[in-house]
C-alpha cells in the first residue's frame, strides 16, 4: 500500500525557519567521523532547503547519550564542498538557542547539539516537543532511520508544526516498499542479531518470498534445535523455533566455522547454498551479516555473499549498519539497487509497513 506523505517539494520555504530532523548517529574513531554514508545521503536535502531560502535548523541525536556531541559532524560538514554555510550551537538551553537562531539569514544552516542531551526528548514529553517546535515554522523529517523511535523530535513535534518529509526519507520508503511487490524468485536473506525484529520480517514475508535464508547469530537457536553443538554461542530468548524450523521455504546454515567452541561464521557448504539461491533470484532483500565481521577472517562468508549479490543482476536491497559497513568497505555500494541508511527502522518498516514517525506525519495532514 503506497505511503503518500507531504514532501518539501510541495511547499515554499523561503524565509521560513525549517526544523530539519536528521539522523547523524554515526560511528566515530579518535574524534573523527568514521561512517560518512548516512551523512552524505542527507546533504541534498540541506542544500535544497538552503537554496530555496530557508533558514535550516538541523536537529539530530547521538546514542552516546550524555557524553555525545555532534561537534565532529559539524566539523566534517564544514570540511567538504557544499553550497550552504553551517553553524553549530553548543548550548542546550532552548532559550539561548532561540536567541542564537534570531541572527540566521535566508539560506543559512545551523546545527543544534545532540537532541538527546535534552530532558524530554526520549520520553516524547509534550511540553518539550511544543517548546522545540517554537524554534521553527515548518518541520521536516529526514530521519527515516530514527523514525521507529517515539521521541519528541520524531513524533511529538509533528503535532505542533506543518510537517513534511525530505528526499532521503522519500527514497527510503519508495525503496523498501518495492519489497512488498517484488519480482520472483524472491530471496530474503537475514543474518546478524535482533531476532525479535527480524523474525517479524520473516512472518511478514512468508507469503511473499520464495526462499528465506537465516544465518548469523540469528540462526543459533535453530541450529541448536537441529542438534548442532553451538557451544557458548549467543542464543535469543523466547524464539518459537518449531514455527520456522520445518517450513520448506526457510533455510539454515548447513555448516559453521567455530573459534573456541563458539560459532563465528557460516561454513563453506552454507556459503555455496546461499550462492546457489542468489543465482536463482531476481529480487534479493538482505539485512545482517552471516558471521562475526569484526573478528579475524570471520567476515569471509559475508563478503563472498555480498559480492555475489552485487553481481547477481537481480534487483537488490540491503540495509542495517553492519551490512552497509561491509558493502561500503568493499566499494560495491553502487552495485546494489537500493541501500538503506536504516537498521532497526528498516526492519520495523518491513515487518509492519509503517513507523511511529510515519504515523505522526499522517496525523499531521
Q: Give the domains, in start order, of the chain with CATH numbers.
A: 8-169+355-364 (3.40.50.1260), 184-313 (3.40.50.1260)
Is residue 67 pLDDT above 70, yes or no? no
Cβ neighbours of 6 (radius 10 Å): 16
Cell of residue 210, nine digits: 520464495
Report residue 75 as a C-alpha cell: 566539523
The closest alpha carbon to 114, from 14, 28, 49, belongs to: 28
Residue 1: predicted pLDDT:
46
Note if the pTM is more than 0.75.
yes
Cα dihedral sign, 6-10-11-14: positive
CA end-to-end distance (rounded Å), the chain:
18
Q: What angle do CA 245, 248, 251 make, to 5 degrees?
A: 65
Q: Where are the beta strands (DSSP E) in the chain?
A: 17-21, 28-29, 32-33, 55-59, 86-89, 109-112, 138-141, 163-165, 186-190, 211-214, 250-251, 256-259, 262-266, 283-287, 315-319, 338-339
Beta strand 186-190 with 211-214 is parallel
Looking at residue 358, what is its pLDDT?
A: 98
pLDDT tens-digit series, residues 226-250:
999 999 898 988 888 999 998 999 9
Mean pLDDT, rounded, for 340-345: 95
* Residue 82 pLDDT: 79
Assess whether pLDDT exceeds 90 at residue 251.
yes
3-class DSSP assignment, residue 245: helix
What confidence tier does 90 reach under pLDDT thresholds 50, 70, 90? very high
Beta strands in 178-314 (DSSP E): 186-190, 211-214, 250-251, 256-259, 262-266, 283-287
Across residues 176-191, what is the average pLDDT? 97
pLDDT in the model for residue 64:
61
Amino acid at each position: 500500500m503506497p505511503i503518500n506523505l507531504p514532501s518539501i517539494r510541495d511547499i515554499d520555504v523561503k524565509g521560513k525557519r525549517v526544523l530539519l530532523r536528521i539522523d547523524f548517529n554515526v560511528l566515530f574513531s579518535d574524534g573523527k567521523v568514521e561512517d560518512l554514508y548516512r551523512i552524505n545521503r542527507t546533504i541534498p536535502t540541506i542544500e535544497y532547503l538552503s537554496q530555496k531560502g530557508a533558514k535550516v535548523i538541523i536537529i539530530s541525536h547521538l546514542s552516546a547519550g550524555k557524553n555525545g556531541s555532534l561537534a565532529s559532524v559539524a566539523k566534517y560538514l564544514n570540511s567538504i564542498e557544499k553550497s550552504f554555510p553551517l553553524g553549530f550551537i553548543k548550548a542546550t538551553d532552548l532559550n539561548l538557542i532561540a536567541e542564537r537562531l534570531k541572527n540566521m539569514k535566508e539560506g543559512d544552516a545551523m546545527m543544534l547539539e545532540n537532541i538527546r542531551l535534552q530532558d524530554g526528548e526520549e520520553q516524547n514529553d509534550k511540553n518539550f516537543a511544543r517548546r522545540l517546535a517554537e524554534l521553527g515554522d515548518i518541520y521536516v523529517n529526514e530521519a527515516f532511520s530514527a523514525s521507529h523511535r517515539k521521541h519528541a523530535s520524531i513524533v511529538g513535534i509533528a503535532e505542533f508544526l506543518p510537517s513534511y518529509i525530505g528526499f532521503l526519507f522519500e527514497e527510503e520508503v519508495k525503496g523498501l516498499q518495492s519489497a512488498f511487490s517484488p519480482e520472483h524468485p524472491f530471496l530474503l536473506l537475514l543474518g546478524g542479531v535482533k531476532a525479535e525484529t527480524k523474525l517479524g520480517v520473516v512472518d511478514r514475508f512468508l507469503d511473499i518470498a520464495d526462499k528465506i535464508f537465516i544465518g548469523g547469530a540469528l540462526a543459533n537457536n535453530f541450529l541448536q534445535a537441529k542438534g548442532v553443538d553451538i557451544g557458548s554461542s549467543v542464543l535469543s530468548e523466547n524464539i518459537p523455533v518449531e514455527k520456522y524450523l520445518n517450513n520448506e521455504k526457510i533455510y539454515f546454515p548447513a555448516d559453521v566455522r567455530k573459534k573456541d567452541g563458539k560459532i563465528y561464521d557460516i561454513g563453506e557448504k552454507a556459503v555455496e547454498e546461499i550462492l546457489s539461491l542468489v543465482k536463482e533470484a531476481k529480487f534479493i532483500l538482505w539485512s545482517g551479516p552471516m558471521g562475526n565481521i569484526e573478528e579475524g577472517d570471520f567476515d569471509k562468508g559475508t563478503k563472498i555473499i555480498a559480492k555475489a549479490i552485487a553481481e547477481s543482476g537481480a534487483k537488490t536491497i540491503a540495509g542495517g549498519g553492519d551490512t552497509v559497513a561491509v558493502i561500503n568497505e568493499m566499494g560495491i555500494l553502487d552495485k546494489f539497487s537500493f541501500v538503506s541508511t536504516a537498521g532497526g527502522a528498516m526492519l520495523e518498516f518491513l515487518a509492519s509497513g509503517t513507523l511511529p514517525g510515519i504515523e505522526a506525519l499522517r496525523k499531521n495532514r
